[in-house]
Homo-oligomer: A and B are copies of this chain.
């Protein structure tokens, strides 16, 4: 790694060599996990470059390739799996200023990776908006969402980013002596989506759009968690009632962690957060009247002294963030309960672990069916106990997407994605892109019997 030569060659670009700001720009939201916090807190890049065009991205990749400098690419760093942590130091390439919204057509938008989800939605208004976004909508980039996310608000209608049709096209630059620019559609998209920038850098995205509505944001309470889950599941199964979000919180999540909501929720009550299209409110209210549920807030008519703000900022991983602000010992797990009949499994998991683990359930769609996933709140004690909780989840039949691991495989299904690996061989022959994040590249025979510790990770005292 010849850092000085690389920096010199890139000095005409927007280059940051100030140690304090490099440190700040080298961190994402990995600290949601005490496990990652213990291992990655010292991680920092050697310099940060902020390209503004695809040509500049190509230049960065070419120069760093020539001088064997690792490149870790990031948007605004809102990921929770350490996706954007530069484990080996080197270059952090920050894409947030490559943020043009290039074209908006019926059903589709073409953007650069650094465009904020919020800015895209505002540009597509009033008729259209993104199909789905993370709860970090206000601050996250589309490139980061596609390279490091899996779904979010809107997945109750459209499924996840991995589902066919939810990404139309990705334009990718390789890290070779002469970087190539490739347009990926169809099956090729999944070489590069959710690959943490380990095998190519996304410089343009074509994303499908949904119709935009002035979504009514709603909080509902029910006395019983199982009834709340049932209601949310059945609502998502109503094909004629258009919703964008359905989230269920076991007590006392709202009572303890949602300061502005708590005064309106009774002891022991479960809370459901919803986004409903205005023209679906009639059907929704008819549906709700069949359930033992009370609306405590709807954004089109309720007036609280202290407004709750955007309701989706209580959901997905904002739930964890709010809990951590109150109780620093809280962390979380990402759980898949499946789509066949998830309710009994959710209840079984809750019964075994509550209150050490509190159920926060996101309703989604998968394979044409209503599915449920958890971003369960976990009262962290030790890594061993966390691993034991995970083991018991798996034993009960739940899938764990472990957010206490920084590799693609361990944060996913613990299986190698051959499409990603094969494309990395082609696009990043020196293995310089976001090193340490793909076990299949570094240690193909890894057995997943314990947490993977990448040998190339810089030592804290280095």
- Which residues of A are interface residues toward B (Cβ below 8 A)? 105-108, 126-128, 131, 157-159, 163-166, 168-169, 185-187, 208-211, 213-214, 236-242, 277-280, 282-287, 289, 365-370
Question: Knowing A211-B211, A239-B158, A286-B187 touch, does A279 contact B108 (C-beta < 8 A)?
Answer: yes
Chain B residues near A370 (CB-CB < 8 A): 368
Of B106, B126, B241, B285, the contact of A279 (CB 8 Å cutoff) = B106
B107 touches A165 (CB 8 A): no
B186 touches A240 (CB 8 A): no
Question: Knowing A239-B163, A241-B165, A369-B237 touch, does A186 contact B106 (C-beta < 8 A)?
Answer: no
Task: State how many copies of this chain the complex holds.
Answer: 2
A238 touches B163 (CB 8 A): yes
A237 touches B165 (CB 8 A): no
**Nearest CB of chain B from residue A151's CB, rounded to whole Å:** 10
**Nearest CB of chain B from residue A152's CB, rounded to whole Å:** 14
A282 touches B240 (CB 8 A): no
B369 touches A238 (CB 8 A): no
Contacts A238-B368, A239-B367 aside, 17 further interface pairs with beta carbons under 8 A come to A106-B126, A106-B278, A107-B213, A107-B279, A127-B211, A128-B211, A159-B239, A163-B240, A164-B238, A165-B241, A165-B242, A168-B282, A208-B242, A237-B367, A239-B365, A239-B366, A239-B368
Distance of A279 Cα from B164 Cα, bound (Å):
12
Chain B residues near A239 (CB-CB < 8 A): 157-159, 163, 365-368
Measured CB to CB, the nearest residue on chain B to A207 is B279
A164 touches B287 (CB 8 A): yes
Measured CB to CB, the nearest residue on chain B to A186 is B286
Distance of A159 Cα from B365 Cα, bound (Å):
16
Question: Knowing A165-B238, A242-B165, A368-B236 touch, does A208 contact B279 (C-beta < 8 A)?
Answer: yes
Distance of A166 Cα from B280 Cα, bound (Å):
9
Of B107, B240, B279, the contact of A209 (CB 8 Å cutoff) = B279
Measured CB to CB, the nearest residue on chain B to A131 is B240
Chain B residues near A186 (CB-CB < 8 A): 282, 285-286, 289
Chain B residues near A368 (CB-CB < 8 A): 236-239, 369-370
Chain B residues near A287 (CB-CB < 8 A): 164
Chain B residues near A213 (CB-CB < 8 A): 106-107
Distance of A287 Cα from B309 Cα, bound (Å):
40
Chain B residues near A366 (CB-CB < 8 A): 239
Chain B residues near A165 (CB-CB < 8 A): 238, 240-242, 280, 282-284
